[in-house]
Amino acid sequence: MSMLEVNDINTYYGKSHIIQGLSLKVEEGEAVALLGRNGVGKTTTIRSIIGFTPPKTGDILFKGKQIARRKPEFISRMGMGLVPQGRRVFPNLTVKENLTMAARGAAKGGWSLEEIYRYFPRLKEREKNMGNQLSGGEQMMLAIGRGLMINPELLLLDEPSDGLAPMVLHDIANIVMQLQKKGLSILLVEQNIKMALKIASRAYVLNKGQVAWEGPSEDLRNNEELQQQLLVVSA
Amino acid sequence: MNLQNFSFETLIFQVLNGLAFSMLLFLLAAGMTLIFGLMKVVNLAHGTFYLLGAYFGYSIITLTNSFWIALILAPVAVGLVGLVMERFFLRPLYNKPHSNMVILTLGFAYLVGDLTTLIWGGDPKSIPSPEPFHQSVELLGRNFPSYRLFVAALGLLLALGLWLLLEKTRIGAIVRAGVSDKEMVRGMGINISLVFTSLFVFGMMLAGLSGVVAAPFQSFGLGDDLRILTYALLVVVIGGLGTLSGAFWGAILIGLVDSLGAAYFPSIAQFGIYIVMALVLLVRPTGLFNRATA
């Protein structure tokens, strides 16, 4: 049984048919990258999975259970963590409140506030600051920490590299790899191909709401032509 | 200006009167502003729930002969009415344009207002001040109703409690997070509709409490629901929609202006509070305490 299995979903914004029969899988403990140019439906895929923009048709199985068209709070409670696009840290809550507001009892002995602070010492230093007083990198750490506090088995990461300085990017990538080694399953949406292929062992490339290519990260890394064709914005 | 009987003592008395009224307004405006902040509902039935609290209190006192039982039970009963309103009437409208909700709450105001007249009649009712606050205390050589001091103290205590609840507890953090990003709160596994219901019921209980507490002040009846609604709206707007501290200071301001205005500027007392609102909004269009950005 896969951790996550998306089968032939179709998702709309109003009348726009954004996701057109997309399927993908994340196995337990696996890190999978979801790549593609701007506007091909990567974020909509994430929103379909977490339940923000439910797919009209198709199945989504999380740990073998149907979750398509269920409420986000239900899906989250099943053990799906979200680090959303744009981070969406609560600006009017302190760092500590951002982390603890949705904390759930560690069923699997999982994440506690202390553990998050051990991973991100910077957050401990800033725990009394408000969410909107943080730098981009700090917000990213907080968004990841917040996603972990619900003790997820699968973490959805939507463009963690967005707007981060190269140094910070490196740190974030390391943290995500550590999380994967700890056994967390990860679905990673990225514009930064290099970073994504470093973290993920498998990748899907989307085009116009469909999977245009899938395979091991290595194959994509070594295939410049494919990268040009599917990922690089034509000049 | 009426300064014939100006004295330091009168001034103090008027300030104390004003503060007692301020605290009543705060109890109303606190619920109203938090409900607006989280749910984007402008509840025009808020004054109705206040009046309902007073009527429920009246009936409970008639039955039990105890103000203190009424003080506990009447807000609970008002909260139950709020529960029905939120679950069955407001809920279907959350995804519709706001005007629908405004019309619904206004409809509720009239409907429940008429029902109260049907049940309790059109004559004004009153509740005596309860023991041990039924007598006056001597203050600066004059008599001052001790019940008003009790109301001011109770209001301050509740204000402090509300602030602690909102700023220092996890429930408060969830409400504040919901104000800034509801979808993300759901994505964190929190049942936001349960939060909505709880906050709405809580706000209605505060309104009901305020109604019971106000009843020994003065008689109440037909029309008081819309009268007090106007005050509450003024307080919420002056303080800044959605902010608890705004509701607090807005209530103090309006309570004092109302009380001092009646004493010293009787000819313009009727619209003194509106002048204050206009002035505040001229200087700070989003209210005293509204942060420009979330």
Could you say which of B173, B186, B189 has the minimum Cβ distance to residue A93? B173
Chain B residues with CB under 8 Å of A100 CB are 170, 173
Could you read off the pLDDT of B135-163 as tens digits, one per residue?
Answer: 888 777 778 888 888 999 999 999 999 99
**Among A62, A67, A90, A154, the residue to mutate for chain B (most B Cβ within 10 A):** A90
The phi, psi pair for A92, rounded to 5°, reads -100, 15
Domains and CATH numbers, chain A: 4-79+146-230 (3.40.50.300)
Could you read off the pLDDT of A76-116 as tens digits, one per residue?
Answer: 999 999 999 999 999 999 999 999 998 876 555 578 899 99
The Cα-based distances of B253 to A5, B197, B277 in angstroms read 59, 30, 10
**Among A70, A77, A92, the residue to mutate for chain B (most B Cβ within 10 A):** A92
Whether a cis peptide bond, with omega within 30° of 0, leads into A72 is no
Query: Is A40 in contact with A17 (CB distance < 8 Å)?
Result: no
Query: What is the CATH classification number for the domain harbouring B68?
Result: 1.10.3470
Structure tokens at B70: 């009424």
**In chain A, positions 129-188, which contact chain B (CB-CB < 8 Å)?**
132, 146, 150
Alpha-carbon span A232 to A82, nearest angstrom? 27
Neighbours of B278 (CB within 10 A): 10
B288 within some domain: no
B237 within some domain: yes
Among A64, A65, A67, A148, CA closest to A108: A148
Which residues of chain A fall below pLDDT 70? 105-109, 233-235
ipTM, 2 dp: 0.93
Among B253, B271, B252, B274, CA closest to B262: B271
Q: What letter represents residue A45's amino acid?
A: T
- Report which DSSP code applies to B129: P
What pLDDT does A235 receive? 46
Q: How far is B87 from chain A (nearest CA, A)?
A: 18
B110 within some domain: yes
B73 within some domain: yes
Which residues of chain B fall below pLDDT 50? 292-294
**In chain A, positions 90-129, which contact chain B (CB-CB < 8 Å)?**
90-93, 97-98, 100-102, 104
- Report which DSSP code applies to A233: P
A71–B186 CB contact, under 8 Å: yes
Number of domains in chain B: 1
pTM, rounded to two decimals: 0.89
Domain span including residue B21: 8-283
For A127-190, the DSSP string reads TTSBGGGS-HHHHHHHHHHHHHHT--SEEEEE-TTTT--HHHHHHHHHHHHHHHHTT-EEEEE-
B192 within some domain: yes
Neighbours of B76 (CB within 10 A): 13
If phi > 0 it is left, if psi is from -120 to 50 it is alpha, else beta; for residue A79 that is left
Residue A166, CA atoms < 13 Å, CB-side half-sphere = 1
Chain B residues with CB under 8 Å of A73 CB are 186-187, 189-192
